């Protein structure tokens, strides 16, 4: 190793050591072992422009092992990204751009929020798919406008998580040749040597997935890493895994190779010994000018490369003006003019009943025709979730231009890959599965919310109404679960017309993900066009909740429902009307949107004076007291479901208009009918 390389690598190491020491917490071990590979990658290969972290054709780099965050922050500072040294000194402190784990957009050059293991690995697969698709859509002979690599440093822990197995299998199937992962194999995890629980042959496993496996190499030998990355770049038909053997906490005389160096500061004494061992006479946070000068070449290099690309893009704009315009639109994330023009007349009140999953499928196809970036798929349930975009092509090994992805039975990777596509840009991704399987993909849904990604998560078969598949497939706790996630908008439309509005909101929402909950079973279309129906327009969905219907006599009670149960509430309200009791029916498809409305609007929908209230929702009633108050009745499910036809399950579990009617009379102090 020449002396500049060594100086640069030790600069990375000591910035990590010093920052962790100052913070009294953090993970010094991984940065110390992985610094050489990170240095080689960033110094010799990574195509990025620190002056413009948004350059669309930059290489993507994800630190999947997010606990090694200081390695990334050090790289960002040294290569000239907007990451002042002062922030590194504020590592893990309130308000800094250097939290314990990297957070997307918090600082220039952070491509993904990582930390929960395996997520970054799968995000990278999503980014590589996005790159492949955009290249397929837009590149033309002589114009490789989209042509970049996706790199990641992944750890033993990433490799143990199932989500990375799922994503790796899919990457192998699609032969994502521009995906290159450096596996920091240090053989140490928190409980000790990984041999206690992780004796598999990772290289053989990845070969089985169809990956190109390089190594194991000495991951701290810069020339070995250099050669391995070159070999990986030359392999264009398969994703590459470079197995890098490293020593966690390298340089620490007493702690290198030990579990304790993973997640604890070295301590003053050991820092001193490590300085001696690595020949580092400097004060904390000192950066040798020679190292800085070397790293900062990235600035000029990046500017030059982006400039070359921009010149090429100009030629492309002249040669292919229509494509160039659409590329720009896709990358901007803007929706085209009139994107929703086909939605207004999609459903008529006179149409026969239709499941909201079916209605959603029709909406999606109308959107897919006009929104080019709209791309996604299901976890092997497309025929059931109704999410196939007809005539839009399947993404496959052969077809690099399609819009329909086949995720396989891999819900967890599906979510994380969708996040990766959203992070990459140029794609508005959606995923689909049954609501019960939200449980398999909670981590990526949460990260989409935390990161503020426009990802649309479609969950069909949204209640016990799915019927015969039984309690293993019937969601109960999932609706409150979704509602408790910050920055996630959950929408459970009541019919086809509300489904149209829900989809519009999902597409328009750029600041975070949206979950759409849809029925398996058919539901009548609320025929709002007939004035005598007394039904308010579906545009009320935009406010989260709205007065859907009200008896002509002054209302004495409010019935509040979401999704399929709105029809039960309506039926009960009409039964009450026949008994001369005035009721108001409120459709509340999205709590989040409703709570964002002005108090005055909310009070107009749920007047404080109207204290008698019943909610009905085929889910855990947790949280409904917010709307029904102390004396209200929440009709829901506090038990698991059952296997039987959906209407039988509803009947047996008390999700019926008669029950609502009886409870209403009871609340009003009138004797019930039953």
Write down the H helix ranges in 109-243: 119-138, 156-160, 162-174, 202-209, 222-234
- Closer residue to a second copy (CB): 138 or 438: 438
Binding mask 248-267 for a second copy (x = CB under 8 A): -----------x---x----
- Which one of 140, 626, 670, 673 is in contact with a second copy (CB under 8 A)? 626
- Which one of 147, 317, 643, 658 is in contact with a second copy (CB under 8 A)? 643
CA dihedral 55, 60, 63, 66 (to 10 degrees): 50
What minimum distance in Å lies between the beta carbon of 19 and a second copy?
11
- Which one of 31, 99, 124, 589 is in contact with a second copy (CB under 8 A)? 99
Any contact of residue 3 with a second copy (CB under 8 A)?
no
Any contact of residue 596 with a second copy (CB under 8 A)?
no
- Closer residue to a second copy (CB): 222 or 451: 451
C-alpha to C-alpha distance for 136 and 130, rounded to whole angstroms: 10
| DSSP string of 341-353, one letter each residue | TTTTTS--TTSPP
Nearest to 448 by CA among 461, 430, 426: 430
Token pair for 116: 């929960």
Any contact of residue 648 with a second copy (CB under 8 A)?
yes
CA dihedral 229, 231, 236, 238 (to 10 degrees): -90
Any contact of residue 550 with a second copy (CB under 8 A)?
no
Query: 119 φ, ψ to 5°?
Result: -65, -45
Any contact of residue 276 with a second copy (CB under 8 A)?
no
List binders of a second copy among 491-530 (CB under 8 A).
none
List binders of a second copy among 373-402 (CB under 8 A).
378, 380-384, 394, 396
What minimum distance in Å lies between the beta carbon of 493 and a second copy?
21
Active-site residue, selected from the candidate residues 270, 411, 565, 592: 411
Any contact of residue 410 with a second copy (CB under 8 A)?
yes
- Which one of 652, 666, 670, 673 is in contact with a second copy (CB under 8 A)? 652
C-alpha to C-alpha distance for 394 and 405, rounded to whole angstroms: 6
Residue 434 contacts residue 469 (beta carbons within 8 Å) = no
Any contact of residue 481 with a second copy (CB under 8 A)?
yes
C-alpha to C-alpha distance for 116 and 12, rounded to whole angstroms: 23
C-alpha to C-alpha distance for 556 and 554, rounded to whole angstroms: 7
Any contact of residue 412 with a second copy (CB under 8 A)?
yes
List binders of a second copy among 175-194 (CB under 8 A).
189-192, 194
Residue 88 contacts residue 73 (beta carbons within 8 Å) = yes
What minimum distance in Å lies between the beta carbon of 605 and a second copy?
16
List binders of a second copy among 448-477 (CB under 8 A).
449-450, 467-473, 476-477
- Closer residue to a second copy (CB): 319 or 409: 409
- Closer residue to a second copy (CB): 16 or 507: 16
- Closer residue to a second copy (CB): 47 or 492: 492
C-alpha to C-alpha distance for 587 and 562, rounded to whole angstroms: 6
Any contact of residue 610 with a second copy (CB under 8 A)?
no
Does the active-site annotation cover 411? yes
Nearest to 231 by CA among 247, 215, 209: 215
What minimum distance in Å lies between the beta carbon of 222 and a second copy?
28
DSSP structure class, residue 566: H
Residue 613 contacts residue 627 (beta carbons within 8 Å) = yes
What minimum distance in Å lies between the beta carbon of 163 and a second copy?
5
C-alpha to C-alpha distance for 184 and 154, rounded to whole angstroms: 6
List binders of a second copy among 11-70 (CB under 8 A).
23, 25-26, 66
C-alpha to C-alpha distance for 11 and 75, rounded to whole angstroms: 10
- Which one of 82, 100, 144, 577 is in contact with a second copy (CB under 8 A)? 100
C-alpha to C-alpha distance for 500 and 513, rounded to whole angstroms: 17
Residues catalogued as catalytic:
411
């Amino acid at each position: 190793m020449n002396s500049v390389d060594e100086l640069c690598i030790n600069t990375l190491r000591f910035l990590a050591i010093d920052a962790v020491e100052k913070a009294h917490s953090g993970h010094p071990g991984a940065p110390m072992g992985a610094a050489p590979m990170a240095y080689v990658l960033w110094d010799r290969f990574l195509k990025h422009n620190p002056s413009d972290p948004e350059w669309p054709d930059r290489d993507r780099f994800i630190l999947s092992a997010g606990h090694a965050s200081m390695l990334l922050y050090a790289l960002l500072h040294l290569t000239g990204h907007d990451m002042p040294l002062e922030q590194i000194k504020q590592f893990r402190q309130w308000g800094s751009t250097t939290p314990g784990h990297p957070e997307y957009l918090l600082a220039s050059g952070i491509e993904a929020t990582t930390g929960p293991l395996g997520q970054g690995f799968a995000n990278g697969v999503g980014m590589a798919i996005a790159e492949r698709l955009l290249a397929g859509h837009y590149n033309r002979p002589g114009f490789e406008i989209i042509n970049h690599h996706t790199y990641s440093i992944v750890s033993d822990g990433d490799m143990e998580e199932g989500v990375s197995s799922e994503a790796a299998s899919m990457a192998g199937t699609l032969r994502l040749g521009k995906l290159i992962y450096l596996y920091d194999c240090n053989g140490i995890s928190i409980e000790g040597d990984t041999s206690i629980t992780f004796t598999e042959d990772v290289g053989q496993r990845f070969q089985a997935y169809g990956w190109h496996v390089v190594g194991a190499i000495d991951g701290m030998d810069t020339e070995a890493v250099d050669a391995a990355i070159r070999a990986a770049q030359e392999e264009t038909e398969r994703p590459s895994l470079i197995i890098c053997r490293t020593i966690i906490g390298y340089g620490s005389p007493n702690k290198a190779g030990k579990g304790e160096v993973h997640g604890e500061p070295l301590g003053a004494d050991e820092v001193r010994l490590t300085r001696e061992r690595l020949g580092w006479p400097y004060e904390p946070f000192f950066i040798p000018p020679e190292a800085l000068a070397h790293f900062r070449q990235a600035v000029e290099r990046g500017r030059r490369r982006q400039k070359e690309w921009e010149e090429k893009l100009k030629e492309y704009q002249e040669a292919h003006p229509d494509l160039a315009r659409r590329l720009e639109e896709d990358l901007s994330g803007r929706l085209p003019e009139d994107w929703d023009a086909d939605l207004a007349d999609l459903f008529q009140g006179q149409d026969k009943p239709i499941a909201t999953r079916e209605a959603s499928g029709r909406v999606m196809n109308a959107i897919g025709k006009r929104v080019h970036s709209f791309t996604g798929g299901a976890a092997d349930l497309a025929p059931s979730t109704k999410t196939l975009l007809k005539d839009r092509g399947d993404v496959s090994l052969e077809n690099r231009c399609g819009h329909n992805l086949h995720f396989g039975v891999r819900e967890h990777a599906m979510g994380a890959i969708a996040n990766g596509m959203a992070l990459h840009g140029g794609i508005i991704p959606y995923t689909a599965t049954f609501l019960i399987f939200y449980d398999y993909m909670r981590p990526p849904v949460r990260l989409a919310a935390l990161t503020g990604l426009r990802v649309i998560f479609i969950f069909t078969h949204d209640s016990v109404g799915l019927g015969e598949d039984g309690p293993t497939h019937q969601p109960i706790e999932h609706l409150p679960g979704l509602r408790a996630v910050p920055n996630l908008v959950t929408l459970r439309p009541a019919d086809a017309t509300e489904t149209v509005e829900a989809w519009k909101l999902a597409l328009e929402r750029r600041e975070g993900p949206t979950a759409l909950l849809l029925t398996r079973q058919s539901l009548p279309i609320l025929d709002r066009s007939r004035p005598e129906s007394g039904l308010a327009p579906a545009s009320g969905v935009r406010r989260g909740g709205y007065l859907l219907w009200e008896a002509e006599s002054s209302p004495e009670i409010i019935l509040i429902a979401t999704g399929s149960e709105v029809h039960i509430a309506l039926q009960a309200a009409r039964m009450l009307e026949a008994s001369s009791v005035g009721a108001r029916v409120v459709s509340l498809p999205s709590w989040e949107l409703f709570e964002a409305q002005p108090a005055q609007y909310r009070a107009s929908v749920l007047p404080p004076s109207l204290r008698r209230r019943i909610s009905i929702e085929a889910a855990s009633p947790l949280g409904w007291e917010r709307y029904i108050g102390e004396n209200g009745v929440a009709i829901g499910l506090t038990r698991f479901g059952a296997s039987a036809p959906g209407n039988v399950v509803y009947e047996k579990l008390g999700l019926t208009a008669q029950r609502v009617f009886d409870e209403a009379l009871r609340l009003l102090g009138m004797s019930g009918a039953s």
